[in-house]
Structures are given as C-alpha cells and as structure tokens.
Amino acid sequence: MPLWFARGLRRGIVTAHYPARPDDSSASLPTPPAFRPAALNRQVAGRLCAACPNGALRRENDVLIFDVGACTACGRCADAAPEAVVPSGQFELATTARSALIKRIPLAGEAAGE
C-alpha cells in the first residue's frame, strides 16, 4: 500500500485536461485522411475508391466525395496513393448535421477524360 502510494505520487496526475489543454495521446490517434487535390486525377481517384473497404470515397464526375462518417481510418487509401493522401490529424469531428460530414474534394485537371 505505501509503495503504491509512493509510486502514484511520483507519477503525478495522469488525468487528461482536455478540453482545456490538448492531450499528448492525440498525436498518435488514427485519423481520417486529408487529400492533396493537386495529386488527384481521375485515375488516382479510381484507385482510392477501389481501395476504400467501407465505401467512404466515391467519384462523381470531377469531384471526389468523401464521407467522413463512413471512414474507419484504416489507411488503405494512403497505401494505395501515398502521394495524394496524408493523415489529417483531425479527431474532433462531432457535428450536428450529418451532411457536414460529406466533403467534396475537387479533382485536378490532368488526365481528365480517362
């Protein structure tokens, strides 16, 4: 009992102070992807949509539609096209409108028509 108490005092308070201060563990959380529109063309978009197992990515004409609500942060889109996808680092994603979670990413112009 005294050992446990002493150890706890040494460790200090481990409770997070969120939202007053950001939490250390938030840096390593898996998060939904962010896209580089410059690197996105129809071919890349096709690869991304095929890679997503949850149907969070769809292409409509020249827009990549990304449903953040369906994303599980599995990272397969980043594996399929690492030049176009980076982790967004966003985890504070709660919203009152479901439509706010559906993002439209414009595709760049290059190999349009493929």
Partner 1 sequence: MTLNGKEVPADGPGPASSAEDGLTPASGTGEVARELRQRIAGQFGRSLHIRTLDTGSCAVCEQEIRLLAAPHYDLHRLGFFFTPAPRHADLLLVTGPMIRAMDVAVHKTYQAMPGPKVVVATGACALGGIYPQDPFVHGDAGKVLPVDVWIPGCPPSPLALLHGLLVAVGRLAEKTPGLTFLADGEAR
Q: Site residues (CB under 8 A) for partner 1?
A: 14-16, 18-19, 23, 25-26, 29, 32-38, 54-56, 58, 60, 65-73, 86, 88-103, 105
The total number of residues shown for the chain amounts to: 114
C-alpha–C-alpha distance, residues 65 and 35, integer Å:
11
Residue type (1 letter), 88: S
What is the residue whose two structure tokens read 């176009």?
Answer: 84
Nearer to partner 1, 43 or 72 (CB): 72
Shortest Cβ distance from residue 35 to partner 1 (Å)?
A: 6
In this complex, which beta carbon is closest to partner 1, that of residue 91 or of residue 111? 91
Q: How far is the CB of 34 from partner 1 (least distance, A)?
A: 4
In this structure, is the dihedral angle defined by the CA atoms of residues 101, 44, 110 and 83, taken in order, positive or negative?
positive
Minimum Å gap between C-beta 4 and partner 1 is 14
Cα distance between residue 28 and residue 72, in whole Å: 15
Question: Could you tell me the smallest distance in angstroms from the CB atom of residue 98 to partner 1?
Answer: 4
Tell me whether residue 92 or residue 114 sits nearer to partner 1 (CB atom). Answer: 92
Backbone angles phi, psi at 11, to 5 degrees: -70, -30
